Chain A
């Protein structure tokens, strides 16, 4: 085994044997689940509950202004802007008399400011009520109106995507979930493992062990050994997560009753319909499990996992080299902070772009930021979930990958030159200008 192999082995083993590694490997998926469940819970529950007193100058809204999940409209007598708070209302809505010719001003007053979502939902309820009023005036009868409202809620949009000759079902919700999750995962791991490289290099420099080791191996071997070793730790962690997920989901299957499982299999074989022309009805839980499996089946998992590993590795190598270069020029945590900022900024920036791109994966911003190596690992992962070559054409994927490879080769080359000088330099505050000089001077 070569010397770089020894270094990789040390970097890898000291980290993998560490108790914190084992703990984070087990706890991170749990935290992830808690985080997702928590944010779903908050987005459902966290909305403001409003009790709105309405002053209606038309006398029409009382029966037509419909409550929403968290806004309740009431029409008490003798209410005005001075006493609604005392009577237990959170807001007061003043509806002026209809003026059919122009847009009317409706006013809602409250002590706390009302959120944008709530404002919009109140607005749409008022509009719906006005619409009903106009339809009634145009001669639609009341009971007809109600039955139209209930009957017209059946549209369910199923989107299909051209795939050669046949159209295949695609699922935006899944793409959104998978894209977002893998984008976040790449973002977090690039930061965590990048910072791990930074700390490792700084440790070697401030401990002065760098000088001992550099007298045995080339600085480049020391730097690459560290980067590769820590990258291997990252891959190990992913691998353990995948194993964990498989083990958990297989164990979970044992808790599903046997007949439900058989029904699920029957549904799978027959494309979602029970055999026997509807004589047998699948149970509700079997249908739910089938639904989840069916939705998960629409994603191209080998491609997503493959791309994920590729973008994790190249993105990590790209940034780890920069972090190593920074680590080699600083001696204390304080001065490292101001120098790491320009490296962490693009990572954070790519996360922000990703959270926009996840809603619209086809915009120029999405395309460009998924080609440029600074942002592409995070952003491209968000887009890939929407489908290759549908949303991401092959040329974009290949260009992005080639640029990513070129990118990390470049940052590694650059970092090696800064590292070589920086790791043995003590007692001097190094500026960006000096680092540039080391990087681009001929050796």
Chain B
């Protein structure tokens, strides 16, 4: 069953179609990557899902019911890209306050904040102020505040920026944990290696439209170029085969591209017939980074122009 379903969502601003007819759905407990270049409409999309903006057209279904921004806020945890906390407020009080705004009672909030602070070894922070924290520390705090009220849907915009590898791993483990306990996570980022590592499912938006939608594996399969790498003990002087061509060679490691109508076994057959000892053979799938660049480049979206909305 899908936790969040977005149907034909549209939001036009005076000079831009920020979100132009986007639909997708998220499985419960999945980690979902929302990708796109700067200005693609990700933030606007997220703001509609969090109830900050009302869509011009289209529907958002949360847990099968129409999303109600006023009563459903407690089900959503949102960590915006630009972090924000009150600088002069004590950290413990601030966390309790923000949890209360999400609908927790005071005692519940205090209880939860304490639990999380112990988990992240932040107990000594309670009476400190935000201005005393480093960027990474306030990042951790912001994450705690986002997930504190155990929302069904957690939206994280660039959650790892500014974190050292140890703390990034801590948060990453926490994200996996939350997903296992049934939370659904939307993860918005430009860092493709993180998406490949963490996400089950991705959507790529560009110029306000959805251009890719699927699991990471499926998308990679869709974009594969039939490239294989093969490593042999010796390399024959002349390689010529109707089945493939060599596009790169480094010492005894070759990158080959299989021609239309041939299979990977044809490559192996060729080398076997040549009496070569094969040490390694595997398919090269494009990285998400490459796919992202292929899809976005050429649309000139990096300098998205303002155009009047017809």
Contacts and interface: CB of A to CB of B under 8 A. Distances in A.
A210 B98 contact: no
A215 B84 contact: no
Given A7-B101, A203-B86, A212-B78, 15 more contacts: A14-B88, A14-B89, A208-B80, A208-B82, A211-B80, A211-B82, A211-B84, A212-B80, A212-B85, A212-B145, A213-B101, A215-B51, A217-B101, A424-B52, A426-B82
A27 interface: no
Interface residues of B, number: 24
B73 interface: yes
Contacts, number: 55
B191 interface: no
Interface string B80-110: 1011111111000000011011100000000
Contacts of B145: 212
B97 A6 contact: yes
A3 interface: yes
A416 to B, nearest CB: 15
6 contacts: A3-B101, A208-B80, A208-B82, A212-B80, A215-B78, A424-B52
A51 interface: no
Given A211-B52, A424-B47, A216 B87 contact: no
B280 interface: no
Contact of B100 (A6, A207, A426): A6
Given A212-B78, A215-B50, A216-B102, A207 B97 contact: no
A209 B78 contact: no
Interface string A205-225: 001111111111110000000
A10 interface: yes
B101 A216 contact: yes
B87 A207 contact: yes
Interface residues of A, number: 21
A211 B82 CA distance: 9
B256 interface: no
A218 B101 CA distance: 11
The 9 closest A-B pairs by CB, nearest first: A208-B84, A209-B84, A208-B82, A216-B101, A215-B50, A215-B78, A211-B80, A207-B84, A216-B73
Contacts of B98: 212-213, 216
Nearest to B146: A212
A215 B102 CA distance: 9
A209 to B, nearest CB: 4
Interface of B: 47, 50-52, 70, 73, 76, 78-80, 82-89, 97-98, 100-102, 145
Contact of B86 (A207, A216, A424, A426): A207
Contacts of B88: 14
Interface majority SS on A: helix, strand, loop or mixed?
Answer: helix
A218 B70 contact: yes
Contacts of B86: 14, 203, 207, 209
A208 B85 CA distance: 7
A2 to B, nearest CB: 11
Contacts of A216: 73, 98, 101-102
Nearest to B155: A215
A215 B73 contact: yes
Nearest to A216: B101
B101 A6 contact: yes
Contacts of A3: 101
B21 to A, nearest CB: 22
Nearest to A423: B52
Contacts of B89: 14
Interface in A174-220: 203-204, 207-218
Chain B CB within 10 Å, residue with most, of A14, A208, A209, A210: A209
Nearest to A443: B54
A203 B16 CA distance: 28
Residue among B52, B82, B88, B97 with the most chain A CB within 10 A?
A: B52
Nearest to B79: A212
Interface centre among B70, B84, B89, B100 (most CB of A within 10 A): B84
B83 A215 contact: no
Contact of A214 (B52, B83, B97): B52
B85 A209 contact: yes
Contacts of A6: 97, 100-101
Contacts of A218: 70
Contacts of A426: 82
A115 B73 CA distance: 69
Nearest to A441: B14
Contacts of A214: 52
A216 B87 CA distance: 19
A213 B84 CA distance: 9
Contacts of A208: 80, 82-84
A212 B52 CA distance: 10
A217 B69 CA distance: 9
Contacts of A7: 101
B210 to A, nearest CB: 23
Given A14-B88, A207-B87, A215 B82 contact: no
Interface in A308-327: none
A210 B52 CA distance: 11
Interface in A245-266: none
A213 B80 CA distance: 11
Contact of A212 (B70, B84, B87): B84
For A10, A210, A212, A217, the residue with the greatest tally of chain B CB atoms inside 10 Å of its CB is: A212
Contacts of A204: 84
A213 B99 CA distance: 10
B92 to A, nearest CB: 14
Nearest to B149: A216
Interface string A1-14: 00100110010001
Contacts of B79: 212
Nearest to B51: A215
Nearest to B83: A208
Among B50, B51, B101, B145, residue most surrounded by chain A Cβ atoms (within 10 Å): B101
A210 B84 CA distance: 7
B130 to A, nearest CB: 9
A433 B100 CA distance: 38
Contacts of B50: 215
A34 B99 CA distance: 47
Contact of A215 (B52, B87, B97): B52
Nearest to A14: B89
A218 B70 CA distance: 8
Nearest to A222: B101
A408 to B, nearest CB: 25
A209 B76 CA distance: 16
A217 to B, nearest CB: 6
Nearest to A209: B84
B70 to A, nearest CB: 7
B46 to A, nearest CB: 9
